[in-house]
Amino acid sequence: MGTLATYRQVVQEVLTAYYQETAGAMAGVERQLVLDPTRDHYLLMTVGWEQNHRVDGCVLHLDIKDGQIWIQHDGTERGIANDLLERGIPKADIVLAFHAPYKRPFTGFGVGRDQAEPQAA
């Protein structure tokens, strides 16, 4: 397991790189980088207007919890987990939190413990 400081740095670097790559991709829609290393929540939001339609959503949502990086939401095409792996984060320390806990052992990534733990039906 890496140090918390290293994980914080990697998460912020990965989000910032993706933000810089994709900023300005949609006219009229603003990308927002939201970094809260005090509470360990890291997001990329989109907000604005596409013609007369309101755009207001979360593209990426990562947390650091109990020494692991939790991908709460991933709206990217390439999968942000790949960026984390490339920067040396071990698979066991990445939790694909959008998969239910009972499915996670089959992902090859970290397991982790949610407050509610949905069981297989």
Q: Phi/psi of residue 81, each to 5°?
A: -55, -35
Polymer length in residues for the chain? 121
Site for a copy of itself in 88-107 (CB under 8 A): 97-98, 100
Q: Which is nearer to a copy of itself, 50 or 86 (CB)?
A: 50
**In this structure, what is the dihedral angle of CA atoms 61, 111, 65, 121, given to the nearest 10 degrees?**
70
Give min distance, CB of 54 to a copy of itself, in A.
6
User: How many Cα atoms within 13 Å fall on the side-chain side of residue 1?
Assistant: 12
* Binding status of residue 13 toward a copy of itself by CB under 8 A: no
Among 25, 77, 88, 115, binds a copy of itself (CB under 8 A): 115
Neighbours of 62 (CB within 10 A): 26
Edge-first strand listing for the sheet containing 29-36: 29-36, 41-50, 53-65, 68-74, 94-96
Site for a copy of itself in 24-83 (CB under 8 A): 27-30, 32-36, 38-39, 41, 43, 45, 47-52, 54, 56-58, 61, 63, 72-73
Which residues contact a copy of itself by CB under 8 A? 27-30, 32-36, 38-39, 41, 43, 45, 47-52, 54, 56-58, 61, 63, 72-73, 97-98, 100, 114-118, 121
